[in-house]
């Protein structure tokens, strides 16, 4: 169900339910796009993972007083994006994620079959995004150490350069950055994202194809932590300060 997320620069956020491949649109070519500065950029939170290594739904695991997924959601919401979309799994876990983010300005779309891998969540997001965007930033729901500052930096670099891909890299000083989400993709690439085959990763081939034009921002290596296991959750717990409990819906 779509919910309104800020001004949205005229983007249609009429409430509706969308499933993967449920909304077809003709994504633009870069030649046919208006100036990027005039178009909104979406922030997309991918939170439909199966949590196979955790053994239980990691999105809802308590971390320093709130569900794990709220950290990534709050960070992306603080990045200055014009509209926000969260991809959730079907059923009880998806409803739990909705409840955990109920006070945040996210539209929600269901990935009906997360077993098809992370690529299926990218496809579900692209199917649900409205036309008329400059681009979309895709973030993972299990990276609790990122903050709004990193998401804002990615958005700023995209606005400044118009690059087809703006990537995050993670490294300590003097080390080679490790590229990992979030990835900000210009709208003319979203058609290719919609055609990405099933895989347990994002559109790597698409990113490689545009590597020469990509902009990479390097962030501290510690921010790369993603929580896939109980040990990762304990590591995040040790690195995060206590937080106030999430407000209860209603």
Residue 155 CB contacts under 8 Å (≥ 6 apart), including other chains:
41, 79, 80, 81, 137, 184
* pLDDT of 85: 97
Distances (CA, A) of 237 to 60, 62, 172, 177, 240: 14, 9, 21, 24, 5
* pLDDT of 3: 30
CA distance linking residue 2 with residue 105, whole number of Å: 10
Of all residues in the chain, what percent carry a pLDDT higher than 90?
Answer: 63
**Encoded tokens for 127:** 């199917």
pLDDT bin (cut points 50, 70, 90) of residue 75 is very high
Of all residues in the chain, what percent carry a pLDDT higher than 70?
Answer: 80
240 or 105, which is more confident: 105
Which strands form 135-140's sheet, in the order they lie side by side? Answer: 107-110, 83-88, 41-46, 135-140, 178-186, 165-170, 215-219
Between CA 36 and CA 45, with CA 42 as vertex, the angle to 5 degrees is: 150
Average pLDDT for 219-224: 95
Regarding pTM above 0.75, the answer is yes
CA distance linking residue 13 with residue 8, whole number of Å: 8
What is the per-residue DSSP string for 150-207?
HHHHHHHHHHHH--SEEEEEE--TTSPPEEEEEEEEEGGGHHHHHTPPS-SS--HHHH
Average pLDDT for 107-128: 94
**Encoded tokens for 112:** 């009906």
**Encoded tokens for 185:** 């993709």
Rounded to 5 degrees, what are φ and ψ at 189? -90, -10
Strands 165-170 and 135-140, by their bridges, are unpaired
Count of C-beta atoms within a 10 Å radius of residue 25: 14
Average pLDDT for 216-243: 86
Q: Is the predicted pLDDT of residue 52 greater than 80, yes or no? A: no
| Domain range annotation of the chain | 38-239
| DSSP helix, strand, coil percent of the chain (3-state; round to 5) | 35, 20, 45
Q: Is the predicted pLDDT of residue 101 greater than 80, yes or no? A: yes
Query: Beta partners for 46?
Result: 87, 140
CA distance linking residue 182 with residue 193, whole number of Å: 15
Q: Is the predicted pLDDT of residue 89 greater than 60, yes or no? A: yes
pLDDT bin (cut points 50, 70, 90) of residue 51 is low
Average pLDDT for 18-32: 50
165 or 200, which is more confident: 165
Q: Selecting from 3.30.1600.10, 3.40.50.300, 3.40.50.2300, 3.90.550.10, what CATH number does the domain 38-239 have?
A: 3.90.550.10
Q: Residue 197: CA atoms inside 13 Å, Cβ hemisphere, count?
A: 1
Write the secondary structure of 108-163 as one string of H (helix), E (strand) and C (coil).
EEECCCHHHCHHHHHHHHHHHCCCCCCEEEEEECCCCCCCHHHHHHHHHHHHHHCC
* pLDDT of 175: 93
Highest-confidence range of 57-71, 96-110, 230-244, by mean pLDDT? 96-110
DSSP state of 19: B
Q: Is the predicted pLDDT of residue 128 greater than 50, yes or no? A: yes
Average pLDDT for 145-150: 96
Q: Is the predicted pLDDT of residue 222 greater than 60, yes or no? A: yes
């Amino acid at each position: 169900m779509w919910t309104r997320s800020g001004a949205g620069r005229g983007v249609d956020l009429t409430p509706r339910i969308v499933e993967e491949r449920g909304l077809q649109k003709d994504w633009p070519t870069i030649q046919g796009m208006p100036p990027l500065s005039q178009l909104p950029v979406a922030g997309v939170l991918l939170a439909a993972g199966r949590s196979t290594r955790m053994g239980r739904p990691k999105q809802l695991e308590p971390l320093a007083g709130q569900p794990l997924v709220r950290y990534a959601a709050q960070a992306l919401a603080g990045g200055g994006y014009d509209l926000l979309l969260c991809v959730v799994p079907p059923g009880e876990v998806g409803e739990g994620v909705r409840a955990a983010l109920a006070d945040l300005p996210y539209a929600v779309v269901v990935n009906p079959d997360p077993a098809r891998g992370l690529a299926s969540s990218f496809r579900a997001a692209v199917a649900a995004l409205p036309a008329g965007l400059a681009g979309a930033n895709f973030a993972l729901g299990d990276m609790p150490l990122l903050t709004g500052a990193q998401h804002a930096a990615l958005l700023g670099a995209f606005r400044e350069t118009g690059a087809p891909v703006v990537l995050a890299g993670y490294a300590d000083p003097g080390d080679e950055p490790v590229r990992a989400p979030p990835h900000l993709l210009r709208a003319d690439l979203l058609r290719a994202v919609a055609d990405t085959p099933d895989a347990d990763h994002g559109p790597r081939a698409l990113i490689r194809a545009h590597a020469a034009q990509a902009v990479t921002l390097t962030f501290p290596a510690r921010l790369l932590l993603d929580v896939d296991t109980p040990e990762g959750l304990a590591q995040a717990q040790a690195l995060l300060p206590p937080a106030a409990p999430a407000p209860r819906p209603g």
